[in-house]
Structure 1
Amino acid sequence: MRTSLFILFLLSFHFVFSQNQIKKSPTPNWVNSISFEDKDVNSENGGFQYLLLDYQDNFPEEASYKHIAIKLLNSNGIQSNSDVSVVFDPSYQKIYFHSLQIIRNGEVIDKLNLNNFQIIQRETSLDRSLYDGSLTAYVNLTDVRENDIIEYSYTTKGFNPIYDGKVSGTVYHQYAIPVNHIYTRLLTDKHDHFDFKLYSDASNPEIKEYSGIREYVWNVNALDFKLYENNSPPWIDIHKKVSFTTIRNWEEVVNWALPLYTYPKESVKEIARSIPQKKDTKATITSYIRFVQNKIRYLGFEDGINAFRPHSPEKVFNQRFGDCKDKSLLLVSLLRNIGVEAYPCLINSYLKDSIFSELPSVNAFNHCIVNFNYEGKTYFVDPTISDQEGDLDNLSVPDYGYGLLIKSNETTLKAIAPTPNPSVKVKEIITLDSINGNATFWVTTTYTGSKADATRSYFNSSSRESIKQDYTEFYRYLYPRIETANIVDIIEDDSIKNTVVVRESYTINKIWEDGTSGNTIYCDIYPIVLEPYIEYTKATNRKIPYYLGDPFTYEQTTEINMPETWNGDNMEISVDGKYMKYSNTTNCKGSKITVTHDYALLQSTVPGDSIETFLNHIEEIKNELHYYLTYDPDRAKFKVSWISVLLVLLSVGLTTSLSVFLYNRYNPAPQEPDTNKAIGGWMVLPLIGLCLTPFLLLFQIFSQDFFNHNIWVGVYNAETELPSTFLFVLGGELIYNVFQLTFSIFLMVLFFKKRTSLPHLISIFYIIILVGAVGDFLALKFLLPDLYAQSDPEESFKLILRAFVGAVIWVPYFQISERVKETFTKTSKNKTRELSTVQNQTI
């Protein structure tokens, strides 16, 4: 009870003290009085419109004056502007209200009553575990009506003492909403250094000097508002603005920060003794990094000077929490304690490389990391990232661009070398138990770099049951009848390479879906993990770059084990762009289908004039993501194709007739004395090939289902430019194969009978095989370009090469070989002509 009362007493004292920080006073004498006009108001621009934004800063007196007038156009404007609030830090600031009134139809209604003000501590950065100690003084205005003008003015006295007299800031002369009048006035000591920089065509100021003061005044109309486009990079600022600073260069920022990052070295030795030491320096460095990242909680109290000055390493270690500055200084102190050169490094996580366009300022940074050097190499590490792994060679740090080392004599920003792009590799195995049945679904995903860090953090912060539920719901979009995951867990976590491997296992009930016509069923194989990585908002005719996110690579292999042999096309598709690359392959072999998807985001932004091309490439990719297994029970039943039978009979009949004719009528005279030599020597090789040819051709004809009526129907309905041409080529291939088969049998007969016609006819046969292979390739390429694009040209080239080599070797052999001439000497009369008889007849 006493403890509760004590806490209430402290809170009461705090808010009473804060209440005393808000006072009522006349407008300071140094302020220029600025009036406003109620005109150029357009209700189409929203529920309210600013008539005046009057900002005047007096740096020598550490005072900032604000004077604002807002016209409320409808109920939405009343809802969002009936509260007047001021944020301040009670440790060094006081608020003086000069006016708070409502102007209604020219009548002024005074609303300034300090008793109506309330003090609250909102902590707008609480979601990032940061407490800045700032308070908000606000008053809720009563009796606010449409077309009222709310006008108020106040002065904030006191600058953060940590600045040590250094001043910097930014004032905007354009917003995403129209503003009738923006008045900006800066008063500086004329002897002080003061720089300003204009952005986005902001106007130059009027400059005056008087009584030791230099005055800068901007008096602008800001009705020409600008809206940000979707996916604008965080470092892009499209509005007119003016930045100013009293700091000459980055070295001056370093010299300002150096005293803030000092610490008692003796205390660090005690801290180091509390952390287990490793056997070598490299391992100890990694151990210190992991200790600060994982054992020191990220939490910051950044009120007043604590917004810039880190707490001592000893305090951070003992309390086991700290913000980015605290954690960075602790890690720096530990590394220095073992002789490693290390420094805090200030960075801006939003500006990245664009920080070079900023003026030197103590407010230019919003984050702190660590730089250290070891064995001739420079490393950067972010001590605020928990659940990170990897040795020094595999440290992952976000793309921060450039940073400022808090190091003596440091004069410029230092480049932070980017780490290798993270990757996601997915291996899926889908095994179907039957057509129109169920399936088992295994997924193995390997993450590297920052993707591994994020996955590890997710598993460390979530229960296994909630993870299973999340994963199952994710896949349920694709497979509605999927059962809750059997397994979802990390099966490998490599602390050296910083890789995480996650294994998943599911059962999918009735993976097949009913088609839209007849009894057709289908199964959709889709890379659902890739989908969110390529979702981008539509955008055309942009003027500023389009932000895509950090570059990464994605690879997916899906193996589908079918319950039976599956006929499918092998395909390869690629989409190559300047900012991304994608490829998709499909391979069908027996009952196994393999589908791959490879995607790489190469850059984080796309110029505005290139976004349409990029998004068109993304649409091309999306059109190729689905792979459908389609099954029609009616078409699956075998039906004899009478067209095939007719073509076979026609080809057999014509080839047989030709063979009979050649057998009886074509009897070349022997070229050498008939020694009646037996078949032997090199000619055995073509004979073996000739004997195998009928069997190979029969296998080819029946394996390609030429006699299945459904195949011909499928060809006719195929998505090609000319289905009739496809049928013509298919029929021609059947006729050609049957011709080869029949004619090869005829050649076998001639071969074994050692007929004189064999050398010439088999040479013609080899030439026909070569011409047929070339013709098949040309027909595919020029008559069926769609099918050619999906085929593997290498197989055609191999076939042509084999036919060419066979013709080159065996055609000359059968034409000039003496052994051939002495073996094939018989004619249709089945007798051998003796050389002597021929000579006698000649004489």
Structure 2
Amino acid sequence: MRYRFLGQILATVLFLVTCLAKADPEITVEPTPAWVKTLTPVDSTQLPQGSVRYHLSNSQILHQGKDQQSYFQLKMEPLNQQGVGEISELTFGFYPAFQHLVVHDISIVRDGKRLNRLQKAAFKLFQTERELSSKLYSEQWSALYILEDIRPGDILTYAYTIQGSNPIFERSDFGRFYLSWPQSVDRRFVRIISDQKLNYRFNRRDHPVTVSRHQSNYVYELDLRDVPAVLAESEYPTWHDPLNYIQYSGYSNWEQVNTWARGLYAIDRTLPGSLRKQLDAWREESGLKEAVNKAIRYVQEDIRYFGIELGINSHQPRTPRATLEKRYGDCKDKALLLTSMLAHLGVHSSPALVSSSRGRDIGRDIPSPGSFDHVINLIQLNGREYWVDATAAGQGIQLRHKGFFNYEHALPVAPATRTLKRVEPSFAEKSLLSTEIEELFDIDPADNSAELRVNTTFSHLKAEQVRRFFLASDSEQIKNSYTNFIATYYPGVDPAPLISYSDNLEENRLKVSEHYQIQSFAKLSSARKIFSLYGSGIVQYISKPQRPIRRSPLALVHPVDIRQRAVANIRGELLWQEALGSTEIDNPWFTFSRTAELHEDSLSVEFVFQSKSDHVNQGDMSEYMAQFDKLDKALHYQFWAKGKASDQRNNSKEMKNLIKSLINK
């Protein structure tokens, strides 16, 4: 999720993604620290609207070398009962191994009187693992405080400090603060104090920053008034964040970040003797290239992906020996293990830091360790560079054919690294979501039924996605999934199809064969049976945006290469069909062609779609929608047909009418 609603964001915005060693969580109630600047109330010109009015969001942070204190204060007012429900539960997240939660204030103002609601005994502590679904375990804790007797018109204020930072970082002076949300804020105040000079940038809109010196510290302040709400849009690219934030860092360049990272990876990389012998045997038996393939496959398939990120292991990998003993590891553990195995084979490889969610957006970042949340490998072999994700499974055997994950920018953890490096595929087709579909329809217009056989070949990245589906699903799940997809276009499909697949791991291709029986194949319109062929393999990669009028770019699936050919054998007479020949659409976002050909007893339609961009700029939405409508129409090809049995029934009906006429006479 790109962002949460304000109440959730503001409760966690000061925390870096870190991990936890075993420790007992503790909450302290203390007065506001002396270093925190006290704010005086200000008037707002914004009119109350929605369910909650946010009067003040106040973030202040103190950096002293590795030490960090993060203060936060929020003042809000429920405007109705829905708002009361939204603010009545306060949640504070922290990592007890290196952080301490200090609460300063929980109070309300009602009818001009301040009522203290802070009671230490009322906090409920529980462990939260938001990342378990991603196979990561870090032991974050939450403190829950349930407010009683809150009414519309009350002004709730709460304030707290998180003391401490992850010791794995050599310095704490980097981070970001959001300055806007889907809700408006009367006043947004940010104060950053550091013993080192900071660099900073804004994501969307620049604001004046007051810079001063206090004793030996640098002080940076922003004081924003009447911050408008940002429309909560969806379907935007991962590299686009519609909310404005200030990012800051004491690092001057990526080389400094690389130096920090290299220190984390400067650990014992010794491999067990048994694994060294195995690597030597692979090289002797099959040559260097095949030994590399087997080493990658071993780490991807035989070492389970799971991360227990406690203490320094949030960013520092475990030794290859430790990973091998446990038979599992997270991204950095697996990346270092693979690097060590390839080094034994004489192949240069290095771990590379990437962002799994932001892609190219980190290219705009001020250098800091906070830009990264994932680790992959950069491998140099036979004059080529290969980017390999050791956490990926089901990628086949050959490095040449493994699918490519486009993280766009990376920081290789290597002595020569001075800046971010562009992540590019070693071969262009590796990044494609490539599919070839052959459909054979045997249509009986008289019975309005059809037999459908489909052969689909998936390659590279798309083959890996489908392979994981087949490996994770039983036969009934597979049949159900495929049948429901076909039923979207042909509702009369029999629910018991024949589905099989064959897998070519050597070339990273997977072929799926489908066999369906379909009743009520055509739709009746004005006594005509209208048959349809669809470019169904393309439809799943395009969709009409939920918000065509938007302020953010629209995300598109890219790169995609789909070729679908449908052949309709007709047991009867073809009465009419849409135009034969080619229909072509070409624009900045995709190219498409549809070619229809008529043969002696069959009709064939070929659909070809290739994407050209991963997004549509908001200013181009009108033109894109016009192109989308053209494509949507072209993906549906219609024809009329009648069967031989239809002639017999018509002749019989005419004979009956003639007999009736003679009798009447």
Relative to the length of structure 2, the TM-score reads 0.88
- C-alpha distance after superposition, 1:577-611 (max 9, x if no partner): 12101111211212111111111111111222222
Where does residue 516 of structure 1 map in the other structure?
525
- Determine the C-alpha separation between the residues in 1 that align with 2:68 and 2:86: 31
Aligned to 1:199: 203
**Hey, what does 1:533 align to over in structure 2?**
541
Counterpart contact for 1:566–1:590, Cα < 8 Å: no
- Conserved in 2, the CA contact under 8 Å of 1:523 and 1:628? yes
Q: Tell me which residue corresponds to 2:323.
A: 316
- Please state how far the C-alpha of 1:281 moved relative to its aligned partner: 1.3
Q: Aligned residue for 2:187?
A: 181
State whether residues 568 and 588 of structure 1, in contact with CA within 8 Å, keep that contact through their aligned partners in structure 2: no
Matching residue's letter, 1:197: R
The verdict on how the C-alpha distance between 1:77 and 1:451 changes in structure 2, with shifts beyond 3 A counting, is same
> Does 1:81 pair with 2:71?
no
Letter of the 2:254 counterpart:
W
Deviation at 1:471, TM superposition (A): 0.8
**SS of the residue 2:588 aligns to:** coil
Distance 1:427 1:15, change over 3 A: closer
> Aligned partner of 2:30: which letter?
S
- In structure 2, the residue corresponding to 1:124 is in which secondary structure? coil
SS at match of 1:475: helix
Would you say 1:109 and 2:76 are equivalent positions? no
Equivalent-residue separation in structure 1 for 2:208 and 2:520 (angstroms): 71
2:135 is matched with 129
CA 1:439/1:32 → structure 2, altered by over 3 Å: closer, same or farther?
A: same
1:601 and 2:611 aligned: yes
Q: Which amino acid aligns with 1:194?
A: L
User: Where does residue 252 of structure 2 map in the other structure?
Assistant: 248
**Residue of structure 2 equivalent to 1:363:** 370
Residues 666-705 of structure 1 aligned to structure 2 (within 5 Å): none
1:395 is aligned to 402
- Once the two structures are TM-superposed, the CA of residue 74 in structure 1 deviates from its matched residue by 1.8
Does structure 1 conserve the Cα–Cα contact (< 8 Å) formed by 2:107 and 2:115? yes
Unaligned ranges ≥5, structure 1: 1-13, 639-843
Q: Hey, which of these two has a bigger chunk of strand by percent?
A: 2
RMSD: 2.4
- Distance in 2 (alpha carbons) for counterparts of 1:631 and 1:378: 55
Q: Secondary structure at the match of 2:295?
A: helix
Q: Secondary structure at the match of 2:540?
A: helix
The answer as to whether partners of 2:576 and 2:641 remain within 8 angstroms in 1 is no
Q: Which amino acid aligns with 1:552?
A: V
1:91 aligns with 2:104: no
Kept in 2: contact 1:230–1:537 (CA 8 A): no
- Letter of the 1:24 partner, please give it: V
Q: 1:517 to 1:628 in 2, by over 3 A?
A: same
Contact 1:78–1:144 (Cα < 8 Å) also in 2:
yes
Is 2:177 the partner of 1:138?
Answer: no
Q: 2:164 aligns with which of 141, 158, 169?
A: 158
Cα shift at 1:567: 5.0
Q: 1:195 to 1:512 in 2, by over 3 A?
A: closer
Give the Cα–Cα distance (whole angstroms) in 1 for the partners of residues 619 and 114 of structure 2.
51
Map 1:267-416; keep pairs closer than 5 Å.
Answer: 267-273=271-277, 277=282, 279-416=286-423
Helix, strand or coil at the partner of 1:336? helix
1:534 alignment partner AA: I
What residue is the counterpart of 1:578 in the other structure? 588
Relative to structure 1, the CA distance from residue 508 to residue 467 in structure 2 (aligned partners, 3 Å threshold; closer, same or farther) is same
The CA distance in 2 between the partners of 1:89 and 1:243, in whole Å, is 23
Q: Which has the higher contact order (CA 8 A, sep 6+)?
A: 2
Give the letter for the 2:463 counterpart: A
Instruction: Specify the code of the residue in structure 1 equivalent to 2:601.
Output: S
Equivalent residue for 1:550? Answer: 558
* 2:3 corresponds to: none
- Asked whether the 8 Å contact 1:430–1:561 carries over to 2, the reply is yes
Q: How many angstroms apart in 1 are the aligned matches of 2:135 and 2:55?
A: 37
Go from structure 1 to structure 2 and tell me whether the alpha carbon gap of 1:538 and 1:67 turns closer, same or farther (over 3 Å shift). Answer: closer
Structure 2 match to 1:617: 627
Q: Tell me the SS of whatever aligns to 1:202.
A: coil
1:165-197 deviation digits (Å, cap 9, x = unpaired): 2420111222221011111111112xx242222
Check the 8 A contact 1:233/1:547 in 2, yes or no: yes
Alpha-carbon separation, structure 2, partners of 1:95 and 1:434? 73
The alpha-carbon deviation at position 327 of structure 1 amounts to 1.2
Q: In structure 2, how many angstroms separate the alpha carbons of the residues matched to 1:390 and 1:621?
A: 37
SS at match of 1:488: strand
Residue 42 to residue 126, structure 1, CA distance change in 2 (3 Å): farther
Contact 2:184–2:228 under 8 Å retained in 1: yes
Kindly indicate whether the alpha-carbon contact (under 8 Å) linking 1:52 and 1:69 is maintained by their aligned counterparts in 2.
yes
Give the C-alpha shift of residue 225 in structure 1. 2.4
CA distance change for structure 1 residues 230 and 432 in 2, over 3 Å: closer, same or farther? same
The answer to whether the 8 Å contact 2:29/2:102 transfers is yes
Superposition map of 1:769-784 within 5 A: none
Change (3 A) 1:490 1:373: same
Give the Cα separation in 1 of the matches to 2:22 and 2:217: 37
Residues 53 and 181, structure 1, Cα contact 8 Å, conserved in 2? yes
1:448-597 maps to which residues of 2 (within 5 A)? 448-491=459-502, 493-513=503-523, 515-518=524-527, 520-537=528-545, 539-540=547-548, 542-566=550-574, 568=576, 570-597=580-607
Q: What's the CA shift string for 1:123-157, capped at 9, x where partnerless?
A: 11121111122111111111121222221111111
Query: Equivalents in 2 of 1:379, 1:37: separation in Å?
Result: 57
User: Which ranges in structure 2 are unaligned for 5 or more consecutive residues?
Assistant: 1-19, 649-665
Per the alignment, residue 453 of structure 2 pairs with 442
- Is contact 1:95-1:155 (8 Å) kept? yes
Note the C-alpha offset of 1:423: 0.8
- Determine the C-alpha separation between the residues in 1 that align with 2:610 and 2:507: 21
218 and 291 in structure 1: CA distance in 2 versus 1, 3 angstrom threshold: same
Q: Which moved more, 1:108-117 or 1:387-396?
A: 387-396
Give the match's secondary structure for 2:151: coil
Q: Confirm or deny: 8 A CA contact 2:270 2:321 kept in the other structure.
A: no
Separation in 1, partners of 2:277, 2:109: 68
| Structure 2 CA distance for partners of 1:59 and 1:301, relative to 1, 3 Å | same
| One-letter amino acid of the counterpart of residue 516, structure 1 | S
Report the residue type matching 1:524 in the other structure.
S
**Taking every aligned residue pair, what percent have the same amino acid on both sides?**
26
Map Cα deviations across residues 629-664 of structure 1 (whole Å, 9 max, x no partner): 3246899869xxxxxxxxxxxxxxxxxxxxxxxxxx
* TM-score normalised by length of structure 1: 0.70
Amino acid across the alignment from 1:142: E
The change in CA–CA distance for 1:145 and 1:539 in structure 2 (over 3 A counts) is closer
Following superposition, the deviation at residue 96 of structure 1 comes to 1.0
Name which one, 1 or 2, has greater alpha-carbon Rg: 1
Find the aligned partners of 1:251 and 1:16 in 2 and give their Cα distance. Answer: 33
Deviations 1:537-563 (A, max 9, x none): 055565543211222111111111111
What is the alpha-carbon distance in structure 2 between the residues aligned to residue 251 and residue 574 of structure 1?
Answer: 49
Shift of 1:384: 1.2
Secondary structure of 1:66's aligned partner: strand
C-alpha distance in 1, partners of 2:318/2:398?
Answer: 28
Q: Deviations over 1:5-44 (max 9, x none)?
A: xxxxxxxxx999634x210111111111124357556443
